[in-house]
């Protein structure tokens, strides 16, 4: 690898219209990587995110990748390796990190060659290697993790540029795929190597690559074929990648929110119908996207942050629609569910992941517990997000806008969703303890994730108790629903992306901390503004207990 040699002495889119013909067919070729079979297109997208931070840059991106498809980046690295080693294609956004290791903080893109010879970065990596030499169980801190990610990106380019073969030749009886590339191949796969080499020559010359893709397909088919299950999964994943259900889901949910909002000003009935149609279309895309992931990956769709956000959104919209059917006249549930689902899907597309369809770490390879524990606890996050949206709606309408309309039903709906969310959060945490006892030999160990799950439970228990005994009035309950979500986001995101410690290391990531912090500050500012503008609405001598809501109000 380039790095080793240097250190030794010291948001989803199809191919653009102008992409080489045959690129889609090449992207549909099956490849085995990370413990599963996937289309070459998926591998290329993972490579693009790992190196550049995105699957696509429409503008202002790396010099050799802007406006181009992920498959073109893969072919560039494979067949124009010498050029790519000096191309500024590796993205680094962390300005403090760049400043600390001696890189220009105003630049975003760097070449693998210059990164491999950056003394500050090499020293940071060596410090982690020294720590691992003293303690094999040592984990990198946040800065070291970012440095390791940078090295991994540069090494991926170096490895592929150096002729690293790809596992594209299926083997019988479920054995590992044989590997072949333009420079080297496993024994028996020499025909595939020749086909790759011919494809590379055509690509470098700027000719159409369709004949060479035909040759490559024939060479692979002569040596092995996929099983029916693998073939179906690959075909579905090709459809999933090019259909892009999450962009369509976000668009439909966004249109529904706009229609709901306009219906409060004019044409209430027609716009509500439009909103529900858009919601239905969004739900159809959402369900299809989650269903495809379940079929393709053969597991519950909650193994990483990307999937968890999608599941949260699906639970939120399901709760919103079911509750709206039960409370047709006074309910805000549908609007809150759509808002929560829209935000979840939108942020799923912004999660800094290198792999949206990755293989599972060993600790998560239990479909039973992945379904029972993780689905339950992530579902609670979706429900509590709905309660936060309802809290926002009450504060905006009743406090900021000072509407004269009676909003008691909105308060009751906030209270009820917190109850449901807390039940799921508690059940999910207990089930997680049972899984921990089975996997790690102890029910509870005060791991950061476990500790913050308990804190979240106690926060919401306190909110419900304070409301029940009359300590929290309507304003206080709505504000608590909003601020409670800040605690949930820290439990879900902060422990993984900021604290980055504990046994739940399979969920760790990096990036986006400043945006999340800005959102949290904005929420506190929103509550402060509402507190300044609130007017006395509840008599101090009011009821000490929550009155039983009427069926219509609940």
CB atoms closer than 10 angstroms to residue 405: 9
CB 411 within 8 A of CB 477: yes
Instruction: Give pLDDT, residue 501.
Output: 54
3-state secondary structure of 357: coil
The bridge status of strand 109-110 relative to strand 166-169 is: unpaired
> What's the rounded Cα separation, in Å, for the pair 205 and 513?
44
Residue 520 Cα distances to 381, 384, 523, 524, 526, angstroms: 16, 16, 5, 6, 10
Q: Check residue 364 and report its DSSP letter.
A: G
| Residue 406: predicted pLDDT | 67
Give a yes or no: residue 91 inside a domain: yes
Structural domain range at position 276: 244-298
Residues 80, 76: Cα–Cα separation, whole Å: 5
β-pair partners for 30: 39
Cα radius of gyration rounded to whole Å, the chain = 26
User: Do residues 262 and 212 share a domain?
Assistant: no
Q: How far is CA 512 from the centre of its chain?
A: 12
Flag whether 540 is in a domain. Answer: no
Within 10 A of 268 (CB to CB), how many other CB atoms are there?
A: 11
Strand, coil or helix: 167: strand
Please indicate, yes or no, whether residues 169 and 253 belong to a single structural domain of this protein. no
Residues 266 and 126 in one domain: no
Domain termination residue (choose one: 229, 260, 275): 229
**Residue 272 CB contacts under 8 Å (≥ 6 apart), including other chains:** 259, 260, 263
Cα separation, 498 vs 303, whole angstroms: 19
What pLDDT does 368 receive? 66
Given phi > 0 = left and psi -120 to 50 = alpha, else beta, which region is 266? beta
Distance from C-alpha of 226 to C-alpha of 47, rounded to nearest angstrom: 23
Pair 80, 213 in one domain = yes
In this structure, the answer to whether residues 212 and 279 fall within a common structural domain is: no
> Has residue 70 been placed in a domain?
yes
Q: What's the 3-state SS for 181-211?
A: CCCCECCCCHHHHHHHHHHHHHHHHCCCCHH
Residues 272 and 211 in one domain: no
- 146 and 178 both lie in a single domain: yes
In order, the DSSP letters of 387-423 are HHHHHHHHIIIIIIS---S--HHHHHHHHHHHHHHHH
DSSP H or E segment with residue 346: helix 333-348
d(CA 310, CA 302): 8
The answer to whether position 56 is within a domain reads: yes
- Fill in the DSSP letter of residue 30: E
Q: Which of 179, 201, 229 is the last residue of a domain?
A: 229
Q: Say whether both 92 and 198 belong to one domain.
A: yes
C-beta of residue 79 within 8 angstroms of C-beta of residue 26? no
Same domain, 275 and 197: no
Evaluate the CA torsion angle 408, 414, 417, 418 in order and state its sign. negative
CB 165 within 8 A of CB 185: yes
CA 376 to CA 429: how far, in whole Å? 9
Question: What was the pLDDT predicted at 543?
Answer: 41
* Together in a domain, 20 and 111: yes
Residue 284 inside a domain? The answer is: yes
238-241 contacts, C-beta under 8 A, 24 or more apart: 238/27, 238/28, 238/39, 238/41, 239/292, 240/289, 240/292, 240/293, 240/296, 241/12, 241/39, 241/41, 241/42, 241/45
Kindly give the pairing relationship between strand 36-39 and strand 30-33. Answer: antiparallel
Asked if 151 and 277 sit in the same domain, the reply is: no
Last-in-domain residue among 229, 258, 284 = 229
Q: What's the rounded Cα separation, in Å, for the pair 154 and 213?
A: 28
Beta bridge partner(s), residue 37: 32
Q: Is 163 left (phi over 0), alpha (psi -120 to 50) or beta?
A: left
Beta strands of 46-132 (E only): which ranges? Answer: 90-91, 109-110
Q: Which of 221, 134, 216, 233 is nearest to 181 (CA)?
A: 216
Residues 418 and 484 sit within 8 Å (Cβ to Cβ): yes
Consecutive H or E run containing 385: helix 375-394
Task: Write out the chain's pLDDT in tens, 554 residues.
Answer: 444 333 333 333 444 545 566 888 999 999 998 888 899 999 999 899 889 988 888 888 888 888 899 999 999 999 998 899 999 999 998 888 999 999 999 999 999 999 999 999 999 999 989 988 888 888 888 788 889 989 999 999 999 999 899 999 998 776 789 999 999 999 989 999 999 999 999 999 988 999 999 999 999 999 988 888 888 989 999 999 889 899 999 999 999 999 988 887 888 788 889 999 999 999 999 999 999 988 888 777 777 778 888 999 999 999 999 988 888 666 688 889 999 999 999 888 776 444 444 444 544 555 566 677 788 888 999 999 999 999 999 998 888 887 777 667 888 899 999 999 999 999 988 887 777 677 666 677 777 778 888 899 999 999 999 998 888 888 999 999 999 999 998 888 777 666 655 545 544 445 566 777 888 899 999 999 988 887 555 444 444 444 444 434 44
- Nearest 5°: the CA angle 459, 464, 469 is 125
- DSSP per residue over 512-525, as a string? -HHHHHHHHHHHHH
CA–CA separation, 286 and 306 (whole Å) = 13
Q: Please name the residues in contact with 277: beta carbons below 8 A apart, sequence gap of 6 or more.
A: none
* 305 within some domain: no
Q: Which residues of 453-466 are buried (b: 16+ CB within 10 A; e: fewer)?
A: beebbebbeebbee
Domain annotation covers residue 138: yes
Q: Is 536 exposed, middle or buried (0-12, 13-18, 19+ CB in 10 A)?
A: exposed
Q: How many residues does the chain have?
A: 554
Distances (CA, A) of 272 to 258, 278, 334, 335: 10, 10, 11, 10
Q: Is the pTM of this model over 0.95?
A: no
User: What region does 112 belong to: left with phi over 0, alpha with psi -120 to 50, or beta?
Assistant: alpha
Same-domain status, 129 and 225: yes
Q: Which pLDDT does position 17 carry in this prediction?
A: 47
Give the span between the Cα atoms of 131 and 468, in whole angstroms: 52
Question: How many other CB atoms sit within 10 Å of the CB of residue 212?
Answer: 21
> What total number of domains does the chain contain?
2
In a domain, 172, yes or no: yes
């Amino acid at each position: 690898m380039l790095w080793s040699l240097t250190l030794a002495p010291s948001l989803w889119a199809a191919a653009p219209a102008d992409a080489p013909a045959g690129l889609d067919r090449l992207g549909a070729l099956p490849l085995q990587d990370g413990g599963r079979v996937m289309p070459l297109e998926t591998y290329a997208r993972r490579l693009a995110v790992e190196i550049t931070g995105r699957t696509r840059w429409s503008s202002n991106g790396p010099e050799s990748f802007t406006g181009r498809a992920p498959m073109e980046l893969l072919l560039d690295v494979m067949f124009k390796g010498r050029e790519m080693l000096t191309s500024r294609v590796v993205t680094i956004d962390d300005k403090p990190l760049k400043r600390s290791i001696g890189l220009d903080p105003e630049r975003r893109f760097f070449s693998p060659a210059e990164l491999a010879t950056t003394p500050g970065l090499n020293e940071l990596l060596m410090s982690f290697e020294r720590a691992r030499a003293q303690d094999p169980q040592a984990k990198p801190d946040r800065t070291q993790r970012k440095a390791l990610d940078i090295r991994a990106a540069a090494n991926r380019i170096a490895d592929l540029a150096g002729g690293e073969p790809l596992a594209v030749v299926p083997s019988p009886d479920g054995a590992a795929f044989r590997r072949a590339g333009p420079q080297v191949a496993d024994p028996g796969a020499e025909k595939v190597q020749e086909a790759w080499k011919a494809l590379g020559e055509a690509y470098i010359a700027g000719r159409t690559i369709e004949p060479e893709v035909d040759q490559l397909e024939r060479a692979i088919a002569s040596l092995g074929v996929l099983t029916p299950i693998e073939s179906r999964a690959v075909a579905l994943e090709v459809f999933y990648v090019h259909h892009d259900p999450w962009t369509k889901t976000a668009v439909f949910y966004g249109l529904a929110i706009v229609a709901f909002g306009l219906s409060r000003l004019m044409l209430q009935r027609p716009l509500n119908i439009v909103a529900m149609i858009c919601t239905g279309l969004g739900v159809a895309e959402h369900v299809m996207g989650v269903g495809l992931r379940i079929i393709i990956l053969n597991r519950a769709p909650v193994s990483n942050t990307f999937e968890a956000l999608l599941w949260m959104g699906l639970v939120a919209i399901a709760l919103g629609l079911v509750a709206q059917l039960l409370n047709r006249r006074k309910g805000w549930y549908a609007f809150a569910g759509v808002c929560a689902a829209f935000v979840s899907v939108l942020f799923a597309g912004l999660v800094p992941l290198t792999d949206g369809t990755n293989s599972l770490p060993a600790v998560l390879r239990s479909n039973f517990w992945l379904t029972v524990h993780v689905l339950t606890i992530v579902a609670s996050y979706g429900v509590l997000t709905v309660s936060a949206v309802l809290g926002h709606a009450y504060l905006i309408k009743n406090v900021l806008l000072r509407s004269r309309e009676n909003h008691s039903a909105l308060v009751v709906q906030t209270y009820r969703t917190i109850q449901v969310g807390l039940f799921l959060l508690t059940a999910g945490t207990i089930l997680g303890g049972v899984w921990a006892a089975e996997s790690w030999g102890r029910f509870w160990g005060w791991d950061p994730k476990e500790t913050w799950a308990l804190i979240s439970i106690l926060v919401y228990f306190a909110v419900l108790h304070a409301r029940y005994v009359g300590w929290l009035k309507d304003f206080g309950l709505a504000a608590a629903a909003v601020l409670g979500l800040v605690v949930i986001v820290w439990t879900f995101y902060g422990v993984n992306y900021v604290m980055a410690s504990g046994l739940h290391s399979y969920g760790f990531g990096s990036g986006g901390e400043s945006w999340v912090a800005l959102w949290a500050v904005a929420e506190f500012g929103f509550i402060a503004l509402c507190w300044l503008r609130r007017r006395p609405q509840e008599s101090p001598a009011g009821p000490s207990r929550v009155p039983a809501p009427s069926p219509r109000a609940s």
